[in-house]
Each structure stands twice: as structure tokens, then as C-alpha cells.
Amino acid sequence: MQVLSPAKINPSLKILGRRDDGFHEIETLIAPITLCDEIEVHKSDRERIEFRCDDPSVPTGDDNLVVRATKALFEETKLKNGVSIELKKKIPHGAGLGGGSSDAASTLLALNQIFETKLTRDELAKLGSTIGSDIPLFIFESAAICKGRGDLVTPINLERPLSILLLKPDFRVSTEWAYSRWQDSREIPGVYYATQEFAGQTFVNDLERPVFQKFVFLARLKMWLLDQPEVVAALMSGSGSTVFAVLRPNVDIDLLAMRARDQLDPELWTYACETM
């Protein structure tokens, strides 16, 4: 079975405080986008998990979310069969786009179907939440409001698809690090952190404050985007390092991406997509 594993952006991410369990209480809107990894999942005669990935930087052992999710489902359902999983990466690492969590969720959905384990989405989401906070979101295959530590998911329908340009420099940001620095972080003078609005949607990210303090280029990238005539809103996604631009209708996205590389960073990774 071949499945697509979508990336996401966070149009809104608000941190409400630190929880007793060490996580942070958040309220976030998460929207899947049309950038996807590809996963091949097949039954195997061998009673083991075989995992391969075309990106050599992706770990293939127990620290990989796909492997951990597969083991968790096998333990939950007492399955003795083996499985072969091949991942083709399109979503960059450490980008705030949820690639690893989405891959794990898509794998759980595929295994549930292939092995006919008949777990409900709620049961799969609960299982996924023991592995990663973002996994439950992707189980529901929908835009959603997520609360708690991100594991309390309410699927919603977005009013309209948004045209998006993703921009990521050649460095990563650790999600754990970003949250750990949130409470003591400060705003950089001259950088716009306030809520933006477009088409009935608000755009704000409380993690920009700590991340921009260390990774000043991301603040510069956001401010540059807000100055471009094609852009109606710009925001860091999740904990970064991707910044996304919400675009006006019928703009030349390739021209904007080329201008960003010319004026900011020739190695900038860009990808044009839409919210789903």
C-alpha cells in the first residue's frame, strides 16, 4: 500500500503556560498542506519491522517515529506479522512542518487497514499521543484546533484553501529547545510579532520570540516577506525553521521564490503549496 503523508503549517500557535508534566499548554490551529512524504507499507513473511528511507540523515532505529509507531501498534494489537516500510522524504527535517509525526500517523492508518486491526481513529490517536504530541492531529486527516500539549484534537474545515510559499534556510531548530526558551525570551525591536489577519484567519506564533532571538535570519526572512507585494501574511511555522508566506491570488510564486534566494540566501529551500 502506498500512502501520502502531508506536512502542516501552524497559522496560529499560542502558548498558555507550562504544565506539571513538563510540556506546555498550547492552543494551535494546524492545517495540512499539499507537500507530502510518500510511504510504502507491505506485509512481510519475516516477523520483524523492516524500515528504509531514501534520506540517509533519517534515523532508521527505535528513535524513528515510524518505527516506534509500528511497534506500538503491534504491541497494542498483539500482531505477530512482519512489515516492510519504505519512506521517501519530501518534507525537510527540523522545519516545523510535522514531517516525522505525519509519517508516523500515516503509517498507523496504513497498518490498521492492511492488518484489519479495526482500531478507531480515536484509538489510533490515543496510541499516537504516547509517541508524539503532533501525531493525533494527522490521524484525523483534517485541519484542526489542538489544545493540551497538542494531543486534544478538534477537526475543523477551513473556509478556503490558502496559497502558500514555504521558505527554509539550511539549518534546523529543535522543538524542545524552542519551548524551553519561551518563558524567558524577549522580542527583537523592529520585528513584527503581532497578530496578522487575512480572509477571516488570524496568524500568530508565540514561538517566534525565542527562536528569533537565536536565529535572527528567520526574523529577517519574515520581515522581508511582509514587505513583498505578493504577500498578505508571513509567519514561522511551529518551532521553525520554516517561514511561510500567505499569498495573494494569481501571483507568480516562482518569481517571489527566486527573489528571496537572490536577496536573502541562494541556498534557501522553497516550496509552493496550498492548505488542504
Q: Which residues of 83-101 are buried (b: 16+ CB within 10 A; e: fewer)?
A: bbbebebebbebbbbbbbb
CA distance 123 to 234: 36
252 as an active site residue: the answer is no
Q: Which residue has the cell 510564486?
A: 253
Name, in order, each residue with C-beta under 8 angstroms of 63's C-beta and a sequence gap of 6 or more. none
Half-sphere exposure (Cβ direction) of 108: Cα atoms closer than 13 Å: 36
The burial of 66, by beta-carbon neighbours within 10 Å (0-12 exposed, 13-18 middle, 19 or more buried), is given as buried
Can you state the percent helix, strand and coil of the chain, rounding each to 5? 30, 35, 40
Q: Check 37, 89, 103, 134 and give the catalytic one.
A: 134
Q: Are strands 2-18 and 201-205 parallel, antiparallel or unpaired?
A: parallel
118 as an active site residue: the answer is no
CA distance 194 to 152: 26
How many other CB atoms are found less than 10 A from the CB of residue 158?
17
Contact yes or no for 156/32 (Cβ under 8 A): no
Residues noted as catalytic: 8, 134
